[in-house]
Amino acid sequence: MIDPLIALPGYVLNRAAAANLANLNQQLSKLGLRHSDASLLMLVASNAGLTQSDAGKMLDIQRANMVPLVSRLMKRDLILKEPVDGRSHGLFLTRKGKAFHKEAVAIINDLEARMLESVSEDLRPHLMPILGALWDFNMKKPAG
């Protein structure tokens, strides 16, 4: 069987990312969290009071799609909202949210560390520069 796809960086990038996401979600399911939950917890932990819109911009999630994400974490008493002005609300971690955040970070750091170690030591320093370059390129929507 010939696989013409595995020679394509973009294809391998996507397969690697999909597999990584699956692993991450499997690990996070121990806490009943999804990767999107965990990323929001981490963002709020580092930026207490930031707006739902701002979080969406950083995570590249549209305003409309932030609604169910925030609602779910609020229902589970992991985050709370406080009015900033008449239309926007600041997000904060609850006590319980801080505990979950801590555990999520532990899980994520463990997976990230093991993934890093799977890359040979001489290539490891080039990992982030390369991924960063790929991200930059594709974020600029290079129409062609």
Contacts of 84 (CB under 8 A, 6+ apart): 49, 51, 90
Query: Mask 44-83, x = binds its own copies (CB under 8 A)?
Result: -xxx--x---x---xxx-----------------------
| Calpha distance 23→40 (Å, rounded) | 18
- Binding site partner of 29, from its own copies, DNA, none, Cβ cut-off 5-8 A by kind: none
Q: Shortest approach of DNA to residue 123 CB, angstroms? A: 27
Is 3 near its own copies (CB under 8 A)? Answer: yes
Task: Give CA separation, 4 vs 13, 17, 90, in Å.
Answer: 15, 19, 49
Query: Letter for the amino acid at 72?
Result: R
- Binding site partner of 99, from its own copies, DNA, none, Cβ cut-off 5-8 A by kind: none
